[in-house]
């Protein structure tokens, strides 16, 4: 499986995602012209921006062969730390933001340390992390004079500016932040030594180690990166909503993982691209926005089109992308039959 996907260059997949995105614009736009209104598109983008931001950095983690399911809880932790530090400890709002990002980075470093230096399975460490950080968020919220179930609001205008300001009067500033982060992620992953090391570690950790790469430090750093990206998303979300709550973003885990894998990142590591993930996140976000708008699909049923998209896209890719697969499929079918017949006789 690994070989098959490796043979095809990443370029194709990205091209395919771009095609898919254009298709979305054509279909949704054709059905309901409103979909193409920039103002509408931008507000809808605001709502799935956190997924875009986080998933491009979770891509780093997954390229090293890990997974990070604690990022969603870090959003809430960041948000509530900002709120409590600002409101109850009287910190300057930007100092509060800095503290929150540092705490998030420490959280990422802790999980990354366990994964990289203790060899614990990433999925479980970060699952534990998701409990731990959402628990911490709740504890932080109890420090506040505001009850945990109420959001901390009333942030200064300068903080709300992050998401209120519109570049050229149309593009929300947060989208610019996302684009900048995307460029950083792209350069970091595909144009620097660091990025090459990330890929190498994912392909073969011991080989990377033998070639003089400190693979453990690389692995740990990816978890810090994803945690910091989650913190940035937390800051943006807090500013956008104007309220700091400990459970902000708690439902995003599956969406983030979905965006990363649809973006062409191999869950076993070694392959993936920042652009692919960003495209996939946008495709899913627009699908969530466009389906109800243009086809009156009830928001509750949106899991189905996204599931179908995932399955159809990946199966179609494995079918159409390589004619060998079809031949192999037929051969395998025969072997499957032969195998069952053989074992049947063995039992008799």
Partner 1 sequence: MKKFLATLLAMTMTLSLAACGGGNDAPAEDNTGDSAEGGEVVSVEGKTVAFIPKLTGNAFFEVANEGAQEYAADWGITVEYMGNAVAGVAEQVAVVNQAVASGVDAICISTVDAAGVADALQAAMEAGIAVCTWDSDANVEDRALMVSQGTPEVLGQMLVDLSVEGLKARGVDPDNDAVNYAWHYSQATVTDQNSWQVEGEKIIKEKYPNWVNVQPDNYYSEQDAEKSITVGEAVLSAHPDIDLIICNDSTALPGQLQAAENKGLTKDDVTITGFATPNAVKQYCTNGTIHNWGLWDCKIQGAMGCYVAAYLAAGNTVKVGDVISIPGLGDCEVMANDCLAAGVSTADTNNGVVLLPERAVFNAENMDNYNF
Partner 2 sequence: MNKTKKIFKAREMTSFLFLMGLFIIVGILNPSFMSVNNVAACFNTSVVYTLVAVGMAFTIFVGEIDVSVGSNLGFVATVVGSLLRDGANWGFAFTVGIIIGVIIGLINGWGVAIMKVPSLIFTLGTNGILRGMMYIYTGGAWVENLPKSFKDFSAVTLIGKFTVYYCCAVILVVLIHMALTRTRRGRYFWAVGDNAGGAELVGIPVVRTKVMAYVICGILSAAAGIIFCSRIGFVTSASGNGYEMKAVAACVLGGISLTGGVGTVIGAAIGAVIMASISYLLVFMGFSSNYDNAITGIILITIVVFDALMQRRAAVKNRRARLVARTAAGTAKEAGE
Judged by CB under 8 A, the chain residues 208 through 227 that form the site for partner 1 are: none
- Smallest distance from partner 2 to CB 217, Å: 18
- 139 makes contact, choosing from partner 2, partner 1, none, with CB < 5 to 8 Å by partner type, with partner 2
Beta bridge partners of 171: 167
Task: Give the residue among 7, 23, 13, 46 at the shortest CA–CA distance from 233.
Answer: 46
Distance CA 297, CA 176 (A): 30
Q: Is 18 in the site for partner 1 (CB under 8 A)?
A: yes
Stretch that binds partner 1, among 118-126, 171-179, 294-302, 321-329 (CB under 8 A): 294-302
Helical H runs in the chain?
Answer: 2-7, 10-31, 38-63, 71-87, 93-118, 122-142, 157-164, 173-190, 193-203, 205-210, 215-241, 253-262, 274-295, 303-320, 323-347
- Smallest distance from partner 2 to CB 60, Å: 17
The structure tokens 């507000």 sit at 43
- Smallest distance from partner 1 to CB 34, Å: 6
Stretch that binds partner 1, among 94-102, 191-199, 233-241, 340-348 (CB under 8 A): 233-241
Q: Is 101 in the site for partner 1 (CB under 8 A)?
A: no
Is the separation of the CB atoms in 260 and 66 below 8 Å? no
CA angle 229, 231, 235 (to 5 degrees): 115
Q: Is 246 in the site for partner 1 (CB under 8 A)?
A: yes
- Smallest distance from partner 2 to CB 306, Å: 5
Which tokens belong to 296?
A: 């009156």
- Smallest distance from partner 2 to CB 35, Å: 22
Kindly list the residues in this chain that would bind partner 1 in the complex (CB under 8 A): 11, 14-15, 18, 21-22, 25, 29, 33-38, 40-41, 43-44, 46-48, 50, 138, 141, 147-151, 153-154, 237, 240-243, 245-251, 275, 288-289, 292-293, 298-300
């Amino acid at each position: 499986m690994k070989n098959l996907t490796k043979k095809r260059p990443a370029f194709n997949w990205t091209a395919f995602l771009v095609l898919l995105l254009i298709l979305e614009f054509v279909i949704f736009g054709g059905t309901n012209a409103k979909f193409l209104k920039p103002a509408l598109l931008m507000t809808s983008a605001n709502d799935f921006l956190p997924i875009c931001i986080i998933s491009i950095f979770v891509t780093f983690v997954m390229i090293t062969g890990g997974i990070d399911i604690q990022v969603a809880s870090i959003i809430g932790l960041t948000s509530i730390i900002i709120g409590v530090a600002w409101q109850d400890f009287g910190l300057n709002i930007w100092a509060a933001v800095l503290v929150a990002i540092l705490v998030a980075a420490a959280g990422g470093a802790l999980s990354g340390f366990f994964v990289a230096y203790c060899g614990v399975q990433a999925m479980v460490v970060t699952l534990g992390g998701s409990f731990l950080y959402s628990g911490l968020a709740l504890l932080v919220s109890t420090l506040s004079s505001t009850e945990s179930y109420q959001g901390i609001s009333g942030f200064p205008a300068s903080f709300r500016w992050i998401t209120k300001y519109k570049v050229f009067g149309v593009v929300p500033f947060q989208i610019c932040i996302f684009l900048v982060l995307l460029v950083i992620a792209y350069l970091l992953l595909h144009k620097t030594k660091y990025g090459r090391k990330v890929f190498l570690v994912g392909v073969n950790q011991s080989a990377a180690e033998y070639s003089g790469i400190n693979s453990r430090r690389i692995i740990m750093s990816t978890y810090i990166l994803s945690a910091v990206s989650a913190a940035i998303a937390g800051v943006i979300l807090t500013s956008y909503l104007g309220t700091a709550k400990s459970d902000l973003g708690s439902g995003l885990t599956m969406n983030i993982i979905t965006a990363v894998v649809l973006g062409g990142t191999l869950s076993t590591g070694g392959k993936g691209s920042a652009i692919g993930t960003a495209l996939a996140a946008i495709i899913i976000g627009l699908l969530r926005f466009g389906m109800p708008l243009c086809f009156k699909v009830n928001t509750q049923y949106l899991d189905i089109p996204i599931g179908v998209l995932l399955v159809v896209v990946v199966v179609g890719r494995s079918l159409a992308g390589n004619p060998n697969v079809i031949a192999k499929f037929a051969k395998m079918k025969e072997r499957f039959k032969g195998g069952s017949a053989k074992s049947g006789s063995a039992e008799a």
